[in-house]
Amino acid sequence: MMARLADYLYIAATIAFTVYGQLVLKWRVASHGPLPLEFADKTSYIFGVLIDPWIVSGLAAAFLASLTWIAAMTKFELSHAYPFMSLNFVVVLVLSAWLLNEPVTPAKLVGMALIVVGTVVIARG
C-alpha cells in the first residue's frame, strides 16, 4: 500500500514541475513585454527571453516533468495516470490568481470543479 502511494509521487512531481514551469514562463515573459512584430526584433526578443535565468529554470522544469512522467509510466497504465494531468489546470488557475493576479471568473470556477470531479471519476474507474 505504501509503495503504491509512493508511486503517485511521480505523478505529483510531474504536476509540480509542469505548474512551476508554466507560472515562471508567464511571469518572466510578461516582464519582457509583448512579442515584437518585426522579425529582427522577434529574434532579439527570443534571445533575451532564452538567457533569462528564470526562463531557463522553467524550461528545465519541463524537462524534469518529462523525466518524472517517464517514471510514472513505469508504474501506471496511461489511462489511469493521464487524467491526473488535468489537475495542472486547477493548480495553475489557483496559483495564477494568487501569484499573478489573474482573474478567476465564475465560469473558470465551474470548469475547475468539473475537472476535479472528472479526474476523480476516471481515477476510480
Domain-wise residue ranges, the chain: 2-124
CA triple 5-7-8, angle to 5 deg: 70
Check whether 75 has a pLDDT greater than 80.
yes
In Å, how far are 16, 23, 89 from 101, measured between CA atoms?
20, 12, 16
pLDDT in tens, 76-93: 999 889 989 999 999 999
Q: What is the reported pTM?
A: 0.88
Check whether 1 has a pLDDT greater than 80.
no
